[in-house]
């Protein structure tokens, strides 16, 4: 009798235990693959930094979220990549320029308006809530901000003044209508093309001037076909790593802070590398035949005036007026604080 009662008790316990829901193991949880496009070539410093981010995402999510990076514009240039993200065939991207997605970003790239990285950083950080909201309207989440350095003009012949540049055929990204209009407003002659066609266009003479940061010019070897560089800090090329809002929201909420932190750390490394390498890249190209053309103070003044004269067309036409005004207000705020603190 006792044996029978013991058997029934064991059986009842087994049934009760089997009824308790078990927490899913990491291996049983859904795994998410994020396909990310990148314009930088495999083997470059930027690609290595992105690979570190890829590894950290795998590590902090315990394999639940993985990145797969498509480097070197194999997925297309920025406009093509954005289309693919909308279609869902890609989920994220490091974009070389994001003003074409959210025109408010162009307020950070008004030619000749900013004099230092610190000025741009201050304005960008203050405008981040506004910019994040605008990206969200486009179905995108900003994971980090990057920049590719100050845009210089690489040209087929030496250029020291805006009037000389106006005679050349200036490359502009096809579809980046705001930048195209900025160039037109300043009196230049933009030739819209996909960025994948830059090298061919320079070799054939379809374009004779290329606006690009030194790092991009040396990585892509554009300076070989445009062997003169006008040393004018035209504008900082602002980029960002973005992810589809739908994809981001598929990721468990407990993982998002660590993934965002890893992305922001990668962004800091990317910015630091660019800012360090600009002068080094210029020196390296000069050793290989690049001629650096440095305008004097008077000529530099003509560059600033060419843009300032176009501000009325840029504000409200190319850049939303309120974004332009906010950026200029914040810039003056920064300069005022620097002046009151003795530049410290």
Can you name the residues that pair with 243 across neighbouring β-strands?
A: 92, 141
pLDDT of 14 above 90? no
What's the pLDDT at 15? 36
Overall CATH class of domain 29-340: alpha beta
79 to each of 115, 149, 173, how far by Cα in Å? 29, 21, 9
Distance CA(155)–CA(136), nearest Å, equals 38
Per-residue pLDDT band for 344 (boundaries 50, 70, 90) equals low
What's the pLDDT at 62? 96
Per-residue pLDDT band for 18 (boundaries 50, 70, 90) equals very low
Over residues 281-327, the pLDDT tens digits come to 999 999 999 999 999 999 999 999 988 888 888 899 889 999 999 99
Per-residue pLDDT band for 343 (boundaries 50, 70, 90) equals low
What's the pLDDT at 77? 83
Distance CA(109)–CA(151), nearest Å, equals 10
What the block records as the tokens of 214 is 């030194």
Over residues 213-263, the pLDDT tens digits come to 998 899 889 999 999 999 999 999 999 999 999 999 999 999 999 999 999
What's the pLDDT at 2? 35
């Amino acid at each position: 009798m006792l044996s029978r009662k013991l058997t029934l008790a064991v059986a009842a316990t087994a049934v009760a235990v089997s009824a308790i829901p078990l927490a899913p193991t990491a291996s049983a949880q859904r795994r998410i693959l994020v396909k990310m496009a990148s314009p930088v070539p495999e083997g470059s410093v930027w690609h290595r930094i992105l690979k570190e981010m890829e590894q950290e995402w795998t590590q902090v999510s315990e394999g639940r979220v993985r990145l797969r990076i498509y480097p070197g514009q194999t997925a297309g240039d920025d406009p093509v990549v954005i289309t693919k993200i909308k279609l869902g065939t890609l989920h994220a991207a490091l974009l070389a320029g994001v003003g074409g997605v959210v025109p408010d970003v162009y307020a950070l790239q008004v030619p000749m308006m900013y004099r230092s990285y610190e000025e741009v950083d201050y304005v960008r950080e203050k405008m981040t809530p506004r910019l994040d909201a605008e990206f969200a309207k486009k179905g995108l989440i900003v994971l980090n901000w990057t920049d590719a350095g100050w845009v210089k003009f690489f040209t087929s012949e030496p250029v020291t003044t805006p009037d000389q540049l106006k005679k050349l055929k200036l490359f502009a990204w096809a579809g980046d209508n705001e930048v195209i209009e900025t160039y037109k407003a300043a009196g230049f002659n933009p030739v819209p093309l996909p960025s994948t066609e830059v090298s061919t266009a320079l070799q054939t003479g379809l374009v004779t001037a290329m606006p690009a940061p030194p790092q991009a010019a040396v990585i892509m070897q554009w300076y070989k076909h445009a062997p003169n560089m006008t040393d004018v800090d035209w504008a900082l090329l602002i980029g960002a790593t973005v992810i589809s809002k739908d994809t981001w929201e598929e990721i468990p909420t407990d993982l998002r802070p660590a993934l965002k932190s890893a992305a922001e750390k990668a962004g800091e490394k990317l910015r630091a590398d660019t800012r360090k390498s600009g002068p080094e890249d210029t020196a390296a190209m000069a050793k290989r035949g690049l001629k650096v053309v440095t305008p004097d103070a008077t000529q530099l003044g003509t560059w600033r005036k060419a843009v300032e004269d176009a501000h009325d067309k840029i504000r409200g036409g190319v850049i939303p007026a309120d974004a332009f005004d906010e950026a200029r207000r914040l810039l003056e705020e920064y300069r005022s604080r620097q002046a009151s603190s003795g530049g410290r």
